[in-house]
């Protein structure tokens, strides 16, 4: 913990050095300074921000290791049950939040449009671990993360929006490839596979950024969306199916 406040002019000098170094994924002085102010507000030395945070798509993201370290420093414990490229299971324990066993699988990641992303293809086990860490800690002892997300979660977000707009059922013309909403209602028809994939991804993104849905609701809704459109997804050419999130 930092006992003394760092003057803003000194923080600006540190922010300039961090941004110029290019070592921490922080690209501008303003980003570095904003993270340093957050760190100081949490009672930490501002330089800790460069170690613990990334800026992903304009959002502050707490590194999974930093989140886990905070949890353990606050009295939390984690027991890893399964740790493979297909499944990661952990038990999270804290005196104030009880005990939770949590599993993340590649099947879940695929259902919500994550499995095809570059990091998920290269480091599936690490990505599953990060998802377990974030959800487990946020559920058992949210006080040590205060609503922040890991960089792996933020990478799945799009640009901030106030809320996901409703997805009305349209009156599409006959013919073309049908695109269905999660409830099975016809949303639109598209003439080409590329156009269909783009429209499908748009629905995925609108669900992912919704502020009215819990993470569990988002997961089940994305599953329903994939199931409703399974027939078309199975028929997509590889170059277009690979575009799906």
pLDDT digits (tens, 9 = 90+) for 133-159: 988 988 898 887 765 655 555 555 443
- Does residue 163 form part of some domain? no
C-alpha span between 176 and 190 (Å, rounded): 5
Residue 44, domain member (yes or no)? yes
Spatial distance between the Cα atoms of 232 and 155, rounded to a whole number of angstroms: 27
One domain, residues 149 and 195: no
Residues 231 and 188 placed together within one structural domain of the fold: yes
List the structure tokens of 211: 């502020």
Give yes or no: residues 77 and 140 share one domain.
yes
Tell whether 227 is covered by a domain: yes
**Distance (Å, rounded) from C-alpha 45 to C-alpha 42?**
9
What letters, b where the CB count within 10 A reaches 16 and e where it falls short, cover 206-233? Answer: bbbbbeebeeeebeebbbbbbebbeebb
181 and 140 housed in the same domain: no
Note whether residue 162 is domain-resident.
Answer: no
Answer whether residue 94 is part of any domain.
Answer: yes
What confidence score (pLDDT) does residue 170 get? 40
Of 153 and 35, the structure prediction assigns the larger pLDDT to: 35
Whether 166 maps to a domain, the answer reads no
Do both 48 and 69 map to the same domain? no
Residues 181 and 109 in one domain: no
Tokens 């028809």, residue located: 189
Report the percentage of the chain scoring pLDDT > 70.
Answer: 78
In this prediction, residues 177-182 reach a mean pLDDT of 88
Considering the domain architecture, whether residues 183 and 210 belong to the same structural domain is answered as: yes
Whole-prediction pTM: 0.52
Domain containing 122 equals 65-154
- Domain assignment of residue 159, yes or no: no
* End residue of a domain, out of 154, 169, 197: 154
Is the CA virtual torsion 229, 230, 233, 235 positive or negative? Answer: negative
36 & 86 share domain? no
Q: Are residues 77 and 105 in the same domain?
A: yes
What band does 176 get if pLDDT is binned at 50, 70 and 90?
A: confident
> Which 8-state DSSP code applies to residue 24?
S
Q: Is residue 161 part of a domain?
A: no
Verify that 183 and 216 share a domain, yes or no.
yes
The reply to whether 102 and 130 lie within a common domain is yes
Provide the domain count of the chain: 3
What's the mean pLDDT when you consider all of the chain? 78
Task: Write the CB contacts of 130 (distance below 8 Å, at least 6 apart in sequence).
Answer: 64, 150, 151, 152, 153
Of 89, 122, 154, the one marking the end of a domain is 154
Last residue of a domain, one of 123, 154, 185: 154
Query: Do residues 233 and 195 both lie within one domain?
Result: yes
């Amino acid at each position: 913990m930092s006992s003394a406040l760092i003057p803003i002019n000194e923080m600006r000098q540190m922010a300039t050095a961090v941004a110029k170094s290019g070592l921490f994924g922080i690209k501008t002085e303003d980003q570095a300074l904003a993270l340093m102010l957050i760190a100081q507000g949490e009672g930490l030395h501002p330089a800790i921000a460069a170690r613990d945070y990334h800026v992903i798509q304009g959002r502050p993201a707490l590194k999974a290791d930093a989140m886990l370290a905070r949890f353990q420093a606050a009295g939390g414990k984690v027991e890893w049950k399964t740790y493979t490229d297909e499944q990661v299971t952990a038990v999270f324990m804290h005196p104030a939040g009880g005990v939770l066993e949590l599993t993340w699988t590649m099947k879940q990641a695929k259902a919500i449009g994550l499995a095809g992303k570059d990091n998920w293809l290269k480091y599936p086990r690490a990505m599953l671990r990060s998802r377990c860490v974030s959800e487990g800690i946020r559920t058992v002892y949210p006080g040590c993360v205060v609503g922040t997300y890991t960089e792996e979660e933020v990478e799945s977000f799009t640009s901030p929006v106030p809320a996901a707009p409703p997805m009305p059922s349209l009156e599409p013309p006959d013919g073309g490839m049908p695109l269905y909403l999660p409830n099975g209602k016809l949303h639109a028809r598209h003439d080409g596979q590329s156009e269909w994939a783009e429209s499908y991804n748009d629905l995925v993104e609108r669900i992912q950024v919704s502020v009215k849905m819990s993470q569990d609701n988002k997961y089940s809704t994305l599953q329903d969306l994939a199931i409703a459109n399974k027939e078309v997804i199975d028929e997509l050419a590889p170059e277009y199916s690979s575009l799906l999130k």
